[in-house]
Amino acid sequence: MCWYGREKCKNEDKFIHIERLYKDTGFAATALLCIFVKKTRMILLDGRATAAQIQEELKAAVQLRKDAGQKIPHLAAILVGNDGGSVSYVTSKVKACEAIGFESTLIRYDETVPEDILLEKVESLNQDRSIDGFIVQLPLPKHIDELKITQAIDPKKDVDGFHPRNIGNMILNLPGFLPATPAGILELMRRNEIPTEGKNCLIIGRSNIVGTPLSIMLGRNSNPGNCTVTLAHSKTRNLKTICKEADIIIAAIGKPNFVTADMVKDGVVIIDVGTTRVEDSSRERGWRLVGDVHFDEVAPKASFITPVPGGVGPMTIASLMMNTLKAMELNGK
């Protein structure tokens, strides 16, 4: 309990109290003093709750189309192999389609499927007018050229936003599909009214599907946006120093618990894109998902922070659903 003089401190719930040693002539004494530094109130960026709001909005839009006798959005997904993370994400996408009222088609191949067979299926989906958008779940087996597959997708059906034409449209701020994860992150920030204008934003990881697109989207004249963006990578020097200067940190490198408390300043906004399975014998399934940020350490210093799981992942799926509805509008259906 803090006492200021002889009266109980009235700011105990609002301010931090620390013990200081004060030396006077001939003796030393300790006293609890009220230090007027406001506590940071951490807000959890609940991606599941925000994605649920978006699903309800999309569900209403689908119902209006049904009532008007219009076509219902149809999303297809190609899944190659049995990678645990990929299976989980595709399953979540199919469930989201069901919840919203979209039609969905899941096409599965063994991990040994030849590249030419996969390319034939991509072209078939390009030509299928009943399919409004489709994705090829990444990563693909090593014998398949991911770039070749991505370039084979019709840009008008590329609801993941990975095709070079859509990336170019994103850079020039022209109509098209934004990459699903970056778009989901921006939507999460927008709906939670996170201020970005003039902020120093550090993005750790320069992948073509998250880091690089985000650096462009947050740097342009928009809301969210107008950040001063630093894109860090494996060759970045003095990363810890750069982290401590950042108002917003977006971690997307796939290294569990990489960002720790000593790397961030008080009041930082944390967006954790990482999802890595680590062994956990206490769980029935034997593993748990861990982000790139050491949540327990960093959360007390953050003003906003995403959990893992339940942060960016659901927003990626919500963004994909938004792109699928948008595909119908762009194609005049």
Contact 302, 40 (CB under 8 A): yes
pLDDT at 2: 39
Name which of 175, 183, 131, 181 is nearest 153 in CA terms. 131
- High-pLDDT (> 90) share of the chain, %: 80
Over residues 299-307, the mean pLDDT reads 97
Q: How high is the mean pLDDT of the chain?
A: 89
User: Which domains occur in the chain, in start order?
Assistant: 3-38 (no CATH), 68-175 (3.40.50.10860), 180-314 (3.40.50.720)
List the Cα angle 48/294/239 in 5-degree steps.
115
Straight-line distance from the first to the last Cα atom of the chain, in angstroms, rounded to the nearest whole number: 66
Q: Active-site residue numbers?
A: 93, 137, 160
pLDDT at 40: 53
Helix, strand, or coil here: 224?
A: coil
Whether the ω angle into residue 309 lies within 30 degrees of 0, i.e. cis, is yes
Over residues 73-85, the mean pLDDT reads 93
Contact 51, 314 (CB under 8 A): yes
What are the structure tokens assigned to 89, written together?
Answer: 């994400």
pLDDT in tens, 170-223: 999 999 999 999 999 999 999 999 999 999 999 999 999 999 999 999 999 999
pLDDT in tens, 222-280: 999 999 999 999 999 999 999 999 999 999 999 999 999 999 999 999 999 999 989 98
